[in-house]
Amino acid sequence: MSVHTQNTRLTTTKIRQMKQQGEKITMLTSYDYTLARLVDEAGIDMLLVGDSASNIVCGNQYTLPITLDEMIFLSKGVVRAAQHALVVVDMPFGSYQVTDDQAVANAIRILKESGADAVKLEGGQEIVPAIRRMIVAGVPVCGHLGLTPQSVNQFGGYGLRAKEEAEADKLLADARALEDAGCFCIVLEKIPAALAERVTKAVSCPTIGIGAGNATDGQVLVLHDMLGLNRGFKPKFLRHFAQLADDVNNAVSEYISTVKDGSFPSAEESY
């Protein structure tokens, strides 16, 4: 009997092939077993345990406070749910910026303790040495350029990035450096569609856009945003594919009134 169990999830090789074959790549965030299972069953290609969990799960204003331990805890549930999708985990703020040794050790911890398939890091040429070491160690890496929320204090907000030529040129050079370092894909967040198209044509690894137009090789959205669970959040790039905030509110209101008026539970719902 073989000691190896078959991993049925997509591989980074498959994700790269999808670009070559012109097949669009789909990615959504997930932070828990129950929703990840539904998203995986629907046929998503990649599940991202994003550090947006800091906002969505923990209610923080920024992504910065979430810790490595918290990311690993959330990732375990998502990995248990994923039968088909490749699972990518965000390296949280502070877990890869101090030294390359720390970066590679933390990337290994994520794969070892959560069972995820890859990590994602924000940044360009400055983090290439750390990325190279992760890849040598056997950790597949997804890059992240453009709006990088961990640098919100440096940018002073979440506005469109790389509007000016100098920043656009730097982003293109960063994308080439990430490709050269061996990243299996690169997330491009909130940049002009024309620049995202230039980057997509310039690199051989897939680009996954969010607020970056439709010429990228794939798209990613925050699950709770696209399901319409965050009523107040509707940037231009976001499409609500459902209005679940209303559904949840209506269901809870009905529950409250049926408990109050004594009609729940009914005789059929009782033992």
Binding site for ligand KIV (CB under 6 A): 29, 50-52, 90, 187, 189, 210, 220, 222
| Per-residue exposure over 142-155, b if at least 16 CB sit within 10 Å of its own CB, e if not | bbbbbbbbbebeee
Name the residues annotated as catalytic. Answer: 189
How would you class 204 by CB atoms within 10 Å of its CB: exposed for 0-12, middle for 13-18, buried for 19 or more?
exposed
How crowded is residue 196: how many other Cβ atoms within 10 Å of its Cβ? 28
Taking the least distance from each CB to ligand KIV, the nearer of 29 and 207 is 29
Q: C-beta of 55: minimal distance to ligand KIV in Å?
A: 8
Taking the least distance from each CB to ligand KIV, the nearer of 90 and 117 is 90
Residue 152: C-alpha distances to residues 8, 62, 145 (Å): 37, 8, 13
Q: C-beta of 28: minimal distance to ligand KIV in Å?
A: 9
Identify whether the C-beta of residue 89 lies closer than 8 Å to the C-beta of residue 113: no
Question: 156 in helix, strand or coil?
Answer: coil
Q: C-beta of 217: minimal distance to ligand KIV in Å?
A: 14
Taking the least distance from each CB to ligand KIV, the nearer of 29 and 75 is 29
Residue type, 255: Y
Q: C-beta of 187: minimal distance to ligand KIV in Å?
A: 5
Alpha-carbon gap, residue 18 to 26, rounded angstroms: 11
Alpha-carbon gap, residue 187 to 150, rounded angstroms: 14
Taking the least distance from each CB to ligand KIV, the nearer of 111 and 268 is 111
With CB atoms as reference, the residue minimizing the distance to ligand KIV is 50
